[in-house]
Chains A and B, each alone.
Chain A
Amino acid sequence: MADAKIANGAPPTRWQRFAQAITIPLLAVVLAMLVGAIIIVIAGANPLGGYTAMFRGALGTARGLVRTFEKATPLIFSGLAVAFAFKAGLFNIGAQGQLILGAIAAAYVGFAFEGLPPFVHLPLALAAGMLAGAIWGAIPGALKTFTGAHEVITTIMLNFVAINLTDYLANGPWKDRSPGNIVARTPAILPSAELPSIGVVPLGLLIAIGMAVLAWWVLANTTFGYEIRAVGLNPAAARYAGMSVGRTVIASMAISGLLAGLGGAVETLGIVGRYQPGFNTGLGFDGITIALLAQTSPLGVVPAALLFGVMRAGANQMQLYGVDAEIIGIVQGTMLLFVSAPIIIRKLFRLRAPEGGEEVVLSTGWGSSG
């Protein structure tokens, strides 16, 4: 009896870890919808009917499904962008700026390069979006490496620069000069740069899912991914081990920006058809909530973004049913609250903190990330 000392201290299996990882997000979603329901009741409407209308609007018809996919696609990219940076211990608040720069760069290549065949033009426009996003992401990475400026501050600031830069371009040199146009927007992209759909599935969604799988694979199976995880979890030990922390920080921020920029490009080439200020509002910021809901897992980003897509796509139907669409914002905000403060959920449901596996560090203090 006494000899069963170090009995089964075995680390959790893959399935146990998976169950552990999705418990908090699932409960966060359920709780947030409950909170939303309470507010709907207070507002004098029927929550069950409202949510039903939302889900029916988003998933019940082919058109609804298309809308859900279209809404979810850029969110997968921005969620991936934020999640990828998180793995390197970086909080990329700048996905919005990277995304709109990607969007306008893709729009420019889309309308300005005439006479190219689609198989050249479309990839070129996508690449332009990726490049613009990557550069915009690499800047805060470089600033952090060479000057120690915290990426939260610099990415927020660069969002403003990006917004004003794109406004200027869309209202100035790249403005749509066609007769009758008075708003700030670029010309429409040429048909050869359009991103098609395959039935109800936009090609962009497939690219997004492909990128999620690729990001997961790179992080789990490559030396570069290993460096990112090491630097993200303990930069001091990574340095001692001979890794270049600065290079890893810059590279992961560039990739994060690349993913966001690609999201903007896909949005432009697949849905909007041009760059127009205000058409991408909130996509980058929702990426933060989505990344956290996904517990920073690239694969988890896909279902999290699809859920957001459902809410965005079903909002109209909910509104028609008589429930204000603002409820969606409240539900999403509450989700963010619950996933970033998992202790609330653990207390509510008396869950034990997980003991094994990599911990998700959602926020590092100002001084601790050195």
Chain B
Amino acid sequence: MRAEVVLEVRNITKSFPGVVANDNVSLTLHRGEVLALLGENGAGKSTLMNIIYGLYHPDSGEIIVKGEKVQLGSPREAIEHGIGMVHQHFMLVPVMSVVENVMLGIESTQGPFLDKRAAAEQIRQISEQYGLKVDPYAIVEDLPVGVRQRVEIIKTLYREADILILDEPTAVLTPQEVEELFEIIEALTAQGKSVIFISHKLKEVLRIADRITVLRRGKVVGTVRPEETDEQQLAEMMVGRSVLLRVEKPPREPGMPVLEVDDLWVRDETGHMAVRGVSFRLYAGEILGIAGVQGNGQTELVKALSGLKHAEKGHIRIAGQPVTNLAPRAFYELGLGHVPEDRQHDGLILSLPIKDNIILNTYYKQPYSENMVLKHDVIAETAKRLVEEFDVRTPGIDTRAGALSGGNQQKVIIAREFSRPIRLLYAVQPTRGLDVGSIEYIHRRLVEKRNEGAAVLLVSTELEEILALSDRVAVMYEGQIMDILPVDEATIERLGLLMAGVRDATRTAQTTN
């Protein structure tokens, strides 16, 4: 006995200038089911969801909600049909309270006044019913990301949605928060809600979905059940070819220390000491992974190590040269490459074309300019060559960086940083939000750099990534490095304890003896 079909999408086609984003896509969603929509970036997942949510209008095809064929002209109409969406980037007003955010647009009133109490009461009920713990009167900007996401979910439930679309909901969450989200999803579906879970993370999809529909280049490749498939097969469906989930790397041949950090102290934006006495050496030909839960000083550490943030105390040397508190360009001149954490905000100028992004930190040098005059022909040639060499999928070098998919944006940054002579590389969350194909590619490139003798500092909150790539693993907790382990001694359990601030008990015992 199958549960009732609550949503059916039939033969949806949607093209944008130059690309068919959805090509004859069909899917069905049953009551109480989690349907995962899996696909690489640019596969058409978001387009499809935006069609279902009334933001885009399909060129052809139909949408049937609870047996009724509907025309969804706007999100408002989608909401009226019980469809709610939690966007990847939250749509909350940070300075408002949870109640105010939830009420926004459908305020309950008493006479001319807002009736916050009634709304808060309703939020409490929703919270209890689905295990969505949140204080209705908390101010949104004070809440951790995971809780903000709950507020978004409550928003859709408050609008009486029974079909919830979650767009890449785990991209911003810590592992613990992901687990909590999954519990919420289970509570939702147990009570008859249906969830479309958009993701490109194979493990998560296998863990939470009842069925998995895979999209590739705008088309449905197939729909599978988690129990009859595995990561390898899903990855191949997504990418369309066989995929290496592991990176091969030869044993490390450590060379000279490239980066030397001694007793470094750095404040964060609020003046709080975020890095507290960090010291380490990074050698040529190795990848040093920095693991840790987000927000334990990794961001500030890397910023200080690249001249973007003032070091209160301590010393930094690159290739023996003191660089503490010099301008970022001094670091680059000494051979630093930087793949920043927030690629769209810090790594690229999205409204400039690829060719202008390629020269973002070399524009003032030969051969890209001479006597302060840019050499457009050389720049264009270089950009063309790099786009080819680094496999950036783009119509051309005049395309705006913002028009590229996340993976291709990252490839532009990698192309820029790797194509100049570097001896030191910082890669911060280099694969966050990327699809399998791009992750595989970027991992391979990082290992290549290491094999060429560069010293690589890899900062990631994904332990799997750290373990797959690093030669040594440092764990940061509350601004300090808890320990640095060779990768073969770094088990998940041991790292987990260090990440939680617990020093290795046996080790401490040995050193005190």
Q: Which residues of A contact B (CB under 8 A)?
A: 2, 5-11, 221-227, 229-230, 233-234, 236-244, 355-359
In the complex, the answer to whether B20 meets A5 with C-beta atoms within 8 Å is: yes
B351 within 8 A of A: yes
CB distance from A285 to the nearest CB of B (A): 28
Cα(A225)–Cα(B363), bound, Å? 11
- A223 near B19 with CB under 8 A, answer no
Known: A10-B395, A11-B398, A356-B399. A226 touches B356 (CB 8 A): yes
Chain B residues contacting A237 (CB-CB under 8 Å) are 345-349, 360
The 4 closest A-B pairs by CB, nearest first: A9-B18, A242-B329, A9-B395, A241-B361
A241 to B349: give the CA distance in the assembly, Å: 10
List 30 interface pairs A-B (beta carbons < 8 Å), by A numbering: A5-B20, A5-B218, A6-B18, A6-B19, A6-B395, A7-B19, A10-B399, A11-B395, A11-B396, A11-B398, A223-B364, A223-B369, A224-B372, A225-B374, A226-B356, A226-B359, A227-B363, A233-B349, A233-B352, A234-B345, A236-B345, A237-B349, A238-B360, A239-B346, A240-B346, A241-B361, A242-B331, A242-B332, A355-B403, A357-B400
Q: How far is the CB of B384 from chain A (nearest CB, A)?
A: 14
| CB-defined contacts of B340 to chain A, threshold 8 Å | 240
Q: Are B374 and A7 in contact (CB under 8 A)?
A: no
Interface check B217, CB cutoff 8 A: yes
Interface string of B392-434 (1 = CB under 8 A from A): 0101101110010000000000000000000000000000000
Shortest CB-to-CB span from A24 to chain B, Å, is 17
The majority secondary structure among interface residues of chain A is loop
Partner of B328, one of A7, A225, A239: A239
> A10–B394 Cα gap in the complex (Å)?
9
- Interface size of B by CB at 8 A reads 42
Cα distance A267–B18 when bound, in Å?
A: 51
> Smallest CB–CB gap between A283 and chain B, Å?
31
Q: Which residues of A contact B218 (CB under 8 A)?
A: 5
The answer to whether the Cβ of B338 comes within 8 Å of any Cβ in the partner chain is yes
Q: Which residues of B have CB within 8 Å of A7?
A: 18-19
The answer on a CB contact under 8 Å between A359 and B327 is no
Give the chain A neighbours of B308 by CB distance below 8 A.
239-240
- Give 1 or 0 for each of B343-376: 1 = CB within 8 Å of chain A CB: 0011111111100100111011000010011101
A241 partner residues in chain B, CB cutoff 8 A: 328, 360-361
Give B348's nearest chain A residue, CB to CB. A237
A-side contacts of B393, CB under 8 Å: 6
B134 to chain A minimum Cβ distance, whole angstroms, is: 26
Distance of B32 from chain A, by nearest CB (Å): 35
List A contacts of B400 (CB < 8 A): 11, 356-357
Measured CB to CB, the nearest residue on chain B to A220 is B374
Looking at A6, A225, A227, A241, the one whose CB has the most chain B CB atoms below 10 A away is A241
Chain B residues at the A interface, C-beta cutoff of 8 Å: 17-20, 23, 217-218, 308, 327-329, 331-332, 338, 340, 345-353, 356, 359-361, 363-364, 369, 372-374, 376, 393, 395-396, 398-400, 403
Chain A residues in 8 Å Cβ range of B347: 237, 240
Partner of B23, one of A2, A230, A234, A244: A2
Residue of B at shortest CB range from A6? B19
Give the chain B neighbours of A10 by CB distance below 8 A. 18, 395-396, 398-399
CA distance in complex: A103, B143 (Å) = 55
Q: Is the CB of A229 within 8 A of B395?
A: no
Query: A220 → chain B, closest Cβ, in Å?
Result: 8
- Residue pair B363, A236 in contact (C-beta under 8 Å): no
CA distance A222 to B379 in the complex (A): 13
B361 and A242 within 8 A (CB)? yes
Q: Quick check: B353 and A11 within 8 Å, CB to CB?
A: yes
What residues of B have a CB within 8 angstroms of the CB of A2 in the complex? Answer: 23
Bound-state Cα–Cα, A240 to B327, Å:
10
Closest B residue to A11 by beta carbon equals B398
**Contact A8 B351, beta carbon cutoff 8 Å:** no
Q: Which residues of B have CB within 8 Å of A5?
A: 19-20, 217-218
Residues of A within 8 A of B327 (CB): 242, 244
A179–B55 Cα distance when bound, in Å, is 74
- Given A239-B308, A241-B361, A221 and B376 contact (CB-CB distance below 8 Å): yes
Q: B24's closest neighbor in chain A, by CB?
A: A2
In the complex, chain A residues whose CB is within 8 Å of the CB of B351: 233-234, 358-359
Distance between Cα atoms of A234 and B328 in the complex (Å): 16
Residues of B within 8 A of A244 (CB): 327
B349 CB contacts on chain A under 8 angstroms: 230, 233-234, 237-238
Shortest beta-carbon distance, B24 to chain A, in Å? 9
A222, B352: Cα distance in complex, Å: 16
Q: Determine how close the nearest CB of chain B comes to the CB of A263; give it in whole angstroms.
A: 26
The answer to whether B18 and A240 have CB atoms under 8 Å apart is: no
Q: Tell me how far the C-beta of B274 lies from the nearest C-beta in chain A, rounded to whole angstroms.
A: 18
State whether A230 and B399 are in contact (beta carbons under 8 Å apart), knowing that A5-B217, A9-B19, A224-B372 are contacts in the complex: no
Residues of chain A within 8 A of B403, CB atoms compared: 355-356
CA distance A5 to B44 in the complex (A): 12
Which of B18, B338, B352, B372 sits near A229, CB closer than 8 Å? B352
| Chain B, residue nearest A226 (CB) | B363
What A residues does B348 contact at CB under 8 A?
Answer: 234, 237
Q: Is the CB of B17 within 8 A of A355?
A: yes
**A234 / chain B contacts, CB cutoff of 8 Å:** 345, 348-351
Name the residue in A221, A223, A230 with the highest tally of chain B Cβ atoms < 10 Å from its Cβ. Answer: A223
A240 vs B417: C-alpha distance in the bound complex, in angstroms? 12
Complex: how many Å from CA A237 to CA B19?
29
CA distance A229 to B346 in the complex (A): 15
Shortest CB distance B382–A (Å): 15
Select one of A8, A223, A230 contacting B395, CB under 8 A.
A8
A84 to chain B, nearest CB (A): 17
Q: A8's closest neighbor in chain B, by CB?
A: B18
Residues of A within 8 A of B364 (CB): 223
Which single residue of chain A is at the shortest CB-CB distance from B376?
A221
Minimum CB distance partner of A14 in chain B: B398
- Most chain A beta-carbon contacts within 10 A, residue among B338, B353, B372: B372
Residue on B nearest A244 in the bound complex, by CB: B327
Contact residues in A for B373 (Cβ distance below 8 Å):
221-223
Contact between A222 and B396, CB atoms less than 8 A apart: no
A242 neighbours in B (Cβ, 8 Å): 327-329, 331-332, 361
